[in-house]
Amino acid sequence: QQKVQQSPESLIVPEGGMASLNCTSSDRNVDYFWWYRQHSGKSPKMLMSIFSNGEKEEGRFTVHLNKASLHTSLHIRDSQPSDSALYLCAASNAGAKLTFGGGTRLTVRP
Amino acid sequence: GGIITQTPKFLIGQEGQKLTLKCQQNFNHDTMYWYRQDSGKGLRLIYYSITENDLQKGDLSEGYDASREKKSSFSLTVTSAQKNEMAVFLCASSMGRNTEVFFGKGTRLTVV
């Protein structure tokens, strides 16, 4: 049973639309959340990280974190076809263990 | 910047064979990781190492051994290759807890 659950498994949005991805950890020892993006045939690359309650924005990407529920979400506004990729959420704890979820496959239709 | 080099890029082995995957990083990072990624799926942690000579089991360690020979290198051994573990194996490294993790390009394992 994965300790990091992502939803939905797949998501299709039109170009220019908003994509919203969710992630929850069942491990109460985690204290940092990460979002990685993996284009087809490539390695994952970090998009954003968050460790405090609230919201963090970088360009078209916004991450929210609710520490009480260990839930984070990633929102991509004005989605572009180049945003089509596998989005991976990960959670880390004090011991440097980094656990990933099953991913959300995002497709942005032109 | 630095780079993580995984060898080989492609590995074909026979069922039951013992196979070794290697990883080198020149970031001078303390922590290294091995993940397995089945086609189109998320990453599952096999082993990680916080520092040289340290070894910690991940959630998928059964059937695998690992060795952190020195700070820059981390190897993974598949003790008895099975057809249901054909996947891409990703090596990663970071400075330590709660720091960005960087990935190598992966080793694709095929078991015949």
pLDDT score of A85 more than 90: yes
Angle value at C-alpha A65, between B48 and B89, nearest 5 degrees: 25
pLDDT of residue A1: 53
Residue A83's alpha-carbon distances to A105, B30, B65, B81, in angstroms, are 10, 32, 36, 36
pLDDT of residue B98: 87
Of B42, B45, B94, nearest to A88 by CB-CB distance is B42
Enumerate helices (H) and strands (E) in chain B, giving the number of each. Answer: 0, 11
> Is B12 touching A (CB cutoff 8 A)?
no
Span B26-39, average pLDDT: 97
Side-chain-side CA neighbours of residue A15 (13 Å)? 5
Question: A31: pLDDT confidence band, cut at 50, 70 and 90?
Answer: confident
Of A34, A96, A102, nearest to B42 by CB-CB distance is A102
pLDDT score of A11 more than 90: yes
Span A45-64, average pLDDT: 96
Q: For a pLDDT cut of 90, what percent of chain A falls above it? A: 92
d(CA B112, CA B105): 23
Identify all chain A residues contacting B23, using CB atoms and an 8 Å cutoff.
none
pLDDT of residue A2: 60
pLDDT of residue B85: 80
Q: Are B23 and B49 in contact (CB under 8 A)?
A: no
Identify all chain B residues contacting A95, using CB atoms and an 8 Å cutoff.
50, 56, 97
Span A89-94, average pLDDT: 91
Of A3, A43, A102, nearest to B105 by CB-CB distance is A43
Span B21-35, average pLDDT: 97
Residue B80's alpha-carbon distances to A38, B44, B60, in angstroms, are 29, 19, 14
pLDDT of residue B95: 94
CA B52 vs. chain centroid, Å, equals 15
- The continuous run of DSSP H or E covering B108 comes out as strand B107-111
Give me B69's structure tokens.
Answer: 């020979």
Find the residue in A nearest to B37 (Cα). A102
What DSSP string describes chain B? ---EEEE-SEEEE-TT--EEEEEEE-S--SEEEEEEE-TTS-EEEEEEESSTT--EE-TT-TTEEEEEEETTEEEEEESS--GGG-EEEEEEEESSTTS--EE---EEEEE-
pLDDT score of A101 more than 90: yes
pLDDT of residue A94: 79
Identify all chain A residues contacting B100, using CB atoms and an 8 Å cutoff.
34, 46, 49
Side-chain-side CA neighbours of residue B54 (13 Å)? 15
- pLDDT tens, B36-77? 999 989 999 999 999 998 999 999 999 999 999 899 999 999
> Is B104 touching A (CB cutoff 8 A)?
yes
d(CA A37, CA B89): 17
Alpha-carbon gap: B98 to the closest alpha carbon of chain A (Å): 6
Contact residues for A29 (Cβ-Cβ < 8 A; gap 6+): A93, A94
> Is B41 touching A (CB cutoff 8 A)?
yes
Of A43, A92, A103, nearest to B42 by CB-CB distance is A103
Helix residue ranges, H only, A1-110: none
